[in-house]
Amino acid sequence: MKQVEDRHLILEQRADPWVYLHTDGYYYFTASVPEYDLIELRRAKSLQALRTAEPVTAWVKHETGPMSDLIWAPELHHIHGKWYLYFAAAKSRDIVNGLFDHRMFVLENESTNPLEGEWVEKGQIQTEWDSFALDATVFEHKATHYLVWAQKDPAIEGNSNLYIAELENPWTIKLPQVMLTKPEYDWETRGFLVNEGAAVLKRNGHIFITYSASATDENYCMGMLCASDDADVLNPASWSKSFRPVFQTNADVNQFGPGHNSFTVNEKGEDVLIYHARTYTEIEGDPLYDPNRHARAQVFTWNEEGRPEFGKPL
C-alpha cells in the first residue's frame, strides 16, 4: 500500500513545539527533546524545511543542581534586540506530593542569529511563591511585556494554574502575579488537574491565550481565554474562558492528545497552529516518558465573531 505523506508533520519526537517567524525571514524552532537533557534550535526559510534543518545545541543541562534534569518546553523570544530562551528544569526526576520539582529559567544571547553566539544564564524567574512552575511565554501589549506561565498554588488543588505578571526585564516579573484560570471543567481535570502551555495570539481587537489541560495522554486538549485589547490584562475579570475545548483528540485520524501549541504564519500568510500529538493511546508507564509526541502544523481560520477556529487535528 502506498505510504501517504503526512503534510502536517514538522518533526517526529518533538513535544511542546515552539515556532517563531523572525523579521529576518527565518522560522526558528525549538521543543522538548525526548531525553530532556538539552535545548536545541534550528531554523529554515519555510515550515516544511524545518524537517531537514540542522539542529544546533544551544544549552546543555547541568550535572547537578536545579537545572540538571527534565529540561522542558523551551521557547525562543526576541526582546529589545536580544534573544531569550525560556524553559523549565528540575533538580531530579523525583515526584514529591504528586509533582515534579520544576522551576522556570532564562538564557540570553546578544547574537543576531540565535544559533550562533553565547547563551548566558540569567537565572530563575522568581515568582510569588516557590513551587512547581513551568511553560513561561512572553507577549507584548501596549509597549509592555508580560509573562504568562503555569504554577502550582499550594492553596489550590491540582497541578498547575495559569498566571500573568508584568515583566520588569526579560527574567524578572513585577509582583503581584495574577491567576487567569485554574482547572475546573471536566475536560481540564482528566488524569490530572492541569492548565499549562500557554500561547498568545492578538487579532481583531482581542488577545487570545490558548492553553493545554488534563493529563498528557489522549485526554490532553486545548482551552482558550479571551480579553479585549482595551482591557486591563492584569485583571482576571477582563478574561472570558471557553466552556469546552477548542482543540482535542481526533481518533478518526489517529491524532491523540493535541496541545502545548504555538502560533505562526506560513509563507502564504495563513495563520498556522503548531502543536504536538501522538498517533496511538497504548502508552506504557508515565506518558511524559513516551517519546512519540510529534510536532505538527495546520492552518486555522477565523469566524464571524473574529475568534480563531482551530477545527480538528488533521
Active site residue 24: no
Active site residue 16: yes
Residue 238, Ramachandran bin (φ over 0: left; ψ between -120 and 50: alpha; else beta):
alpha
Under 8 Å between Cβ of 35 and 55: no
- Quickly count: other Cβ atoms within 10 Å of residue 292's Cβ: 15
SS (H, E, C) the chain: CCCCCCCCEEECCCEEEEEEECCCCCEEEEEECCCCCEEEEEEECCCHHHHCCCCEEEEECCCCCCCCEEEEEEEEEEECCEEEEEEEEECCCCCECCECCCEEEEEEECCCCCCCCCCEEEEECCCCCCCCEEEEEEEEECCEEEEEEEECCCCCCCCEEEEEEEEEECCEEEEEEEEEECCCCHHHCCCCCEEEEEEEEEECCEEEEEEEECCCCCCCEEEEEEEECCCCCCCHHHCEECCCCCECCEHHHCEEEEEEEEEEECCCCCEEEEEEEECCCCCCCCHHHCCCCEEEEEECEECCCCCEECCCCC
Determine which one of 196, 217, 218, 290 is catalytic.
196
Q: Exposure of 97 by Cβ count < 10 A (0-12 exposed, 13-18 middle, 19+ buried)?
A: exposed
**What's the CA angle centered on 183, arms 106 and 254, to 5 degrees?**
85
- Quickly count: other Cβ atoms within 10 Å of residue 267's Cβ: 13
Active centre residues (catalytic): 16, 196
